[in-house]
């Protein structure tokens, strides 16, 4: 039969591991199997056209929270145009949410794990008298490596997903993984072999979807060790539980080359009472120490997560969590918002706890017993602001110092006031406009000392990513520009003598930085007044301190 395995990804850079699993499980059967990966950005009419032209006899829909609404629109239209198609749906959203089941109305619904049930269906040509099948768990080790050489073109430059373990030992009340009854890990040798196959596909990032990768510490270390040894530029992304990191991990991870490993770290809250109520075992004091150790001893970019709307959390508690996490200076903080997901322990008591949430996926909370709707909206704006001003990495030098003089959340609220439009909403800004807003914020309500230091930091941040030797007016780079004009030839020669052998440095393309704050010059320039940022092939511009001869 002609089978179309279909997924709807959040972005074109993503891919859907489930589709590749299902394909690999039935390759020995005589079906004609195709994978179709759509994105949420594609109009439903376009998706419909592609499916209509493919004329599948079986359409398999992978339904997640983020694409549930899309499927609810698409499936009824498919059914009208291809009435004989057998629609099989599976995935976490449709497994647990009755409303989604009623809206999608597949011919066959696979609840829970899909692999074994799908294989059994394919063996009998998708003939099935039951409308709902409960999927038996197939041991992870029995599922073959999901990708083939022929996927290379499709996956090139995308994020590719891989599952080295399945299940989570934790029972956080808001999470669907709290239902997992078993945790299993692939043997280390199998993972090592698979890692080489993944690299050969040349994706942009290899993302391990394991819920808490380091729940078996010894096993995790053996895999990290292999990842560190690999010869590749492709980064590996892991979700780790911060409480479970130990000295042995830091020693190992400190050997990871720049860009090889990325960490996503769920913190959710720093308050013991909240964590207890969410059934999440975590100790902020330990997490803080571990974050600091990762930051200081490794080159791993840290993406941290907090959740707004957890039980017993009002504005003060959220504020304290954001302050505490940002003070550890992570590369990114994602301020997420609690979702009440059908099938989670929290969903069973959410009404009793006073939650009001959206009926539409992703079922985000609208109000809690501690937070009014407009307070949640305000935190959403702060989350957007963090994305624009912190997570881009554009202002990392400014933030490093600014948050030692003012609490991070106070800084964010001050910046928010400057950024809100007349409609009191946040609108996306270009990079240069964000620099202008930052300069405005740094010039307001500060001592001369702080202002001078932070404006130097802002200029430094500008130079790190400047594409040409130019400063916008609000940064006042006149001294640096004059200096460059006067010494261009001499600096170029000096750079060539000193760094000419380094192929990644372009010695004729540089922007000059001139410090005006003595404190800043001590922190960044070893007391000198000038530096140049030379353009570099693979990364941002590289700072080089100029000697006093200039
Ligand atoms: S939130 Fe993370 S640690 Fe908690 S149950 Fe879910 S996957 Fe496990």
Residues 167 and 51 reside in one and the same domain: no
Pocket of ligand 1 (CB under 6 A): 168, 170, 172, 175, 177-178, 211-212, 241, 266, 280
Using the mean position of ligand 1's atoms as its centre, give its distance from the Cα of residue 97 in Å: 19
25, two tokens: 């499980």
Q: Of the candidates 312, 331, 361, which is a domain's last residue?
A: 361
Residues 126 and 157 reside in one and the same domain: no
Question: Is the per-residue pLDDT at 502 higher than 70?
Answer: no
Confidence bin at 89 (pLDDT 50/70/90):
very high
In sequence order, which residues have a C-beta less than 8 Å from that of residue 348 and are 6 or more positions away?
none
Q: Count up the domains in the chain and report the number.
A: 3
Using the mean position of ligand 1's atoms as its centre, give its distance from the Cα of residue 542 in Å: 39
Tell me if 420 is assigned to some domain. no
Residues 184 and 268 reside in one and the same domain: yes
For atom 4 of ligand 1, which residue has the closest CA? 172
Tell me if 379 is assigned to some domain. no
Residues 145 and 260 reside in one and the same domain: yes
Q: Is the peptide bond before 181 cis (omega within 30 degrees of 0)?
A: no
Q: Of the candidates 84, 112, 138, which is a domain's last residue?
A: 138
Residues 174 and 89 reside in one and the same domain: no
Using the mean position of ligand 1's atoms as its centre, give its distance from the Cα of residue 35 in Å: 30
Residues 145 and 134 reside in one and the same domain: no
Residues 350 and 220 reside in one and the same domain: yes
Domain residue limits at 24: 2-138
Choose between 269 and 538: higher pLDDT.
269
Question: Is the per-residue pLDDT at 23 higher than 90?
Answer: yes
Q: Are 105 and 83 in contact (CB under 8 A)?
A: no
Ligand 1 atom index nearest CA of 176: 6
How far is Cα 344 from Cα 330, in angstroms, rounded to an integer?
29
Q: Of the candidates 111, 138, 165, which is a domain's last residue?
A: 138
Using the mean position of ligand 1's atoms as its centre, give its distance from the Cα of residue 173 in Å: 9
* Cα angle for residues 445, 400, 260 (degrees, 5° grid): 150
Choose between 548 and 273: higher pLDDT.
273
198, two tokens: 């993944």
**Whole-number pLDDT of residue 308:** 98
Residues 484 and 530 reside in one and the same domain: yes
The per-residue pLDDT for range 184-225, each reduced to its tens digit, is 999 999 999 999 999 999 999 999 999 999 999 999 999 999
What CATH number does residue 206 fall under?
3.80.30.20
How far is Cα 267 from Cα 279, in angstroms, rounded to an integer?
13
Residues 163 and 95 reside in one and the same domain: no
Sign of CA dihedral 16, 17, 20, 21: negative
Tell me if 443 is assigned to some domain. no
The per-residue pLDDT for range 377-393, each reduced to its tens digit, is 999 999 999 999 999 99
pTM of the model: 0.94
Residues 56 and 179 reside in one and the same domain: no
The per-residue pLDDT for range 302-345, each reduced to its tens digit, is 999 999 999 999 999 999 999 999 999 999 999 999 999 999 99
CA 244 to chain centroid, in Å, comes to: 21
Q: Tell which residue, 210, 213, 207, 203, has the closest CA to residue 262.
A: 207
**Other beta carbons within 10 Å of 198:** 22
What CATH number does residue 80 fall under?
3.40.50.280
Could you tell which of 167, 168, 346 is best to mutate to test the pocket of ligand 1, judged by most ligand atoms within 8 Å of the CB? Answer: 168
Q: What percent of the chain has pLDDT over 90?
A: 90
Could you tell which of 163, 172, 281 is best to mutate to test the pocket of ligand 1, judged by most ligand atoms within 8 Å of the CB? Answer: 172
Ligand 1 atom index nearest CA of 175: 6
How far is Cα 390 from Cα 172, in angstroms, rounded to an integer?
28
Tell me if 296 is assigned to some domain. yes
Using the mean position of ligand 1's atoms as its centre, give its distance from the Cα of residue 8 in Å: 24
Tell me if 123 is assigned to some domain. yes
Residues 197 and 323 reside in one and the same domain: yes
**Whole-number pLDDT of residue 326:** 98
Question: Is the per-residue pLDDT at 411 higher than 90?
Answer: yes
- Which 3 state secondary structure label does DSSP give 362? coil
Tell me if 500 is assigned to some domain. yes
The per-residue pLDDT for range 61-85, each reduced to its tens digit, is 999 999 999 999 999 999 999 999 9
323, two tokens: 């302050």
Residues 8 and 103 reside in one and the same domain: yes
Could you tell which of 180, 212, 334, 343 is best to mutate to test the pocket of ligand 1, judged by most ligand atoms within 8 Å of the CB? Answer: 212
Question: Is the per-residue pLDDT at 457 higher than 90?
Answer: yes
Ligand 1 atom index nearest CA of 178: 5
Tell me if 16 is assigned to some domain. yes
User: What does residue 61 show for φ and ψ, rounded to 5 degrees?
Assistant: -110, 125
Q: Please state the rounded mean pLDDT for residues 280-291.
A: 97
The per-residue pLDDT for range 98-149, each reduced to its tens digit, is 999 999 999 999 998 899 999 999 999 999 999 999 988 999 999 999 999 9
Tell me if 404 is assigned to some domain. no
């Amino acid at each position: 039969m002609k089978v179309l395995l279909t997924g709807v990804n959040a972005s074109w850079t993503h891919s859907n591991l489930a589709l590749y699993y299902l394909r690999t499980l039935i390759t020995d059967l005589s079906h004609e199997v195709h994978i179709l990966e759509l994105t949420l950005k594609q109009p439903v009419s376009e998706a419909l056209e592609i499916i209509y032209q493919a004329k599948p006899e079986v359409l398999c829909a992978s339904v997640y929270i983020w694409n549930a609404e899309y499927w609810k629109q698409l499936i009824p239209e498919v059914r009208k145009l291809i009435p004989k198609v057998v629609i099989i749906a599976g995935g976490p959203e449709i497994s647990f949410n009755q409303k989604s089941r009623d809206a999608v109305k597949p011919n066959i619904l696979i609840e829970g794990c899909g692999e074994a049930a799908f294989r059994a269906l394919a063996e009998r040509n998708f003939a099935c008298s039951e409308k709902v099948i409960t999927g038996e768990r197939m041991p992870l080790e029995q599922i073959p490596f999901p990708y083939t050489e022929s996927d290379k073109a499709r996956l090139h430059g995308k994020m590719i997903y891989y599952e080295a373990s399945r299940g989570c030992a934790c029972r956080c009340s808001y999470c669907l993984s709290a239902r997992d009854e078993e945790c299993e890990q692939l043997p280390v040798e199998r993972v090592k072999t698979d890692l080489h196959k993944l690299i050969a596909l040349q994706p942009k990032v290899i993302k391990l979807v394991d819920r808490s990768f380091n729940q078996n510490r010894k096993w995790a270390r053996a895999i990290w060790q292999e990842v560190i040894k690999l010869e590749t530029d492709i980064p590996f992304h892991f979700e780790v539980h911060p409480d479970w990191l130990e000295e042995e991990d830091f020693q190992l991870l400190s050997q990871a080359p720049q860009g090889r490993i990325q960490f996503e770290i769920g913190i959710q809250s720093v308050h013991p009472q909240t964590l207890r109520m969410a059934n999440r075992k975590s100790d902020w004091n330990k997490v803080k120490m571990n974050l600091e150790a990762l930051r200081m001893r490794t080159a791993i970019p840290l993406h941290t997560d907090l959740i707004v709307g957890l039980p017993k959390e009002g504005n003060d508690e959220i504020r304290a969590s954001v302050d505490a996490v940002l003070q550890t200076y992570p590369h990114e903080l994602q301020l997420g918002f609690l979702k009440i997901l059908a099938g989670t322990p929290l969903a069973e008591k959410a009404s009793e706890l006073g939650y009001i949430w959206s009926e539409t996926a992703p079922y985000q909370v609208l109000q809690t017993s501690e937070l009014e709707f407009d307070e949640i909206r305000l935190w959403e704006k702060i989350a957007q602001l963090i994305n624009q001003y912190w997570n881009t990495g554009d202002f990392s030098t400014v933030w490093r110092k600014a948050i030692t003089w003012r609490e991070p959340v106070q800084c964010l609220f001050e910046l928010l006031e400057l950024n809100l439009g007349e409609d009191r909403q946040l609108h996306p800004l270009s990079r240069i406009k964000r620099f202008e807003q930052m300069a405005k914020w740094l010039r307001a309500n500060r001592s001369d000392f702080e202002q001078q230091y932070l404006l130097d930091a802002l200029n430094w941040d500008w130079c790190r990513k400047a594409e040409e030797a130019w400063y916008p007016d609000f940064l006042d780079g006149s001294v640096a520009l004059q200096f460059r004009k006067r010494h261009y030839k001499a600096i170029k020669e000096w750079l060539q003598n000193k760094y000419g052998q380094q192929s990644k440095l372009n010695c004729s393309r540089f922007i000059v930085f001139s410090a005006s704050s003595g404190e800043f010059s001590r922190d960044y320039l070893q007391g000198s007044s000038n530096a140049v940022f030379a353009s570099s092939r693979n990364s941002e511009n590289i700072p080089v301190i100029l000697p006093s001869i200039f």
